[in-house]
Amino acid sequence: MAALLLQEIATRKATEDAMQGLTETDLKSGQNLIDSMVLDKPDVHALDVDAQGVVLVTCGICQRIGPIFKNYTQTSLLNLNPHIITIALNGGALLLANDSPLSRGLREDRVIIEHIRQASRGNGMKTAALLAHAPCAATEPYRFSLLKVIDLLVKAKARLKWELVGMKAACFLGMPGGNTYFVSQKKWDAWVASQGPAL
């Protein structure tokens, strides 16, 4: 009986932790996007860091890096074997979208683009991993919904590919509870079109 009660408490605590910071609307939207496969398991889309390497653009606090790389391990990271160049600023990839209010004033978006350009020229990097997370403290003043975070992430990819022709980019989203998802731009665009002007 005591073990069953402890298990129920642990399950309830895990659920509360997973929901921390997301509204009920965000949770419903997230589940809809998972069901629609806009958000997918990252292992199917994991990036190979041993090939030509990867430029990782992430939020300074986001810690969900492991699932997005095929051959990433804590040991290999400590030994500096993976070829990963990390650009970490608060807001991360969300700073890159043309209409992102996060990059106004300081123009950190230009700084990120230039660092990716240097990584491409100097190190032969041809792939960028754009990692955002929700909720993100950098977005709090703007009260971004989960959908807005994903929208900015997908727009960041589009901008990066437009500014750096030949650069590949993949979007990933970290969520509460330790879950990380691949974000399909093609499926996102179709999903947004199906929602009509309400989105």
What would the pLDDT profile of 32-68 be if each residue is shown by its tens digit? 999 999 999 876 566 666 567 788 898 877 555 555 5
Look at residue 8 and tell me if it is in a domain.
no
Tell me if residue 177 falls in helix, strand or coil: coil
Task: Give how far the C-alpha of residue 170 lies from the chain's centroid of Cα atoms, to the nearest Å.
Answer: 9
pLDDT for position 103 = 82
Give this prediction's pTM: 0.80
pLDDT for position 16 = 41
The whole-chain average pLDDT of the chain stands at 79
In the 3-class helix/strand/coil scheme, how is 129-156 assigned residue by residue?
Answer: EEEEECCCHHHHHHCCCHHHHHHHHHHH
Look at residue 168 and tell me if it is in a domain.
yes
Look at residue 89 and tell me if it is in a domain.
yes
The CATH number given to whatever domain includes residue 149 is 3.40.1050
Look at residue 158 and tell me if it is in a domain.
yes
Overall domain count for the chain: 1
Domain of 102 in residue numbering reads as 23-198
Look at residue 141 and tell me if it is in a domain.
yes
Look at residue 105 and tell me if it is in a domain.
yes
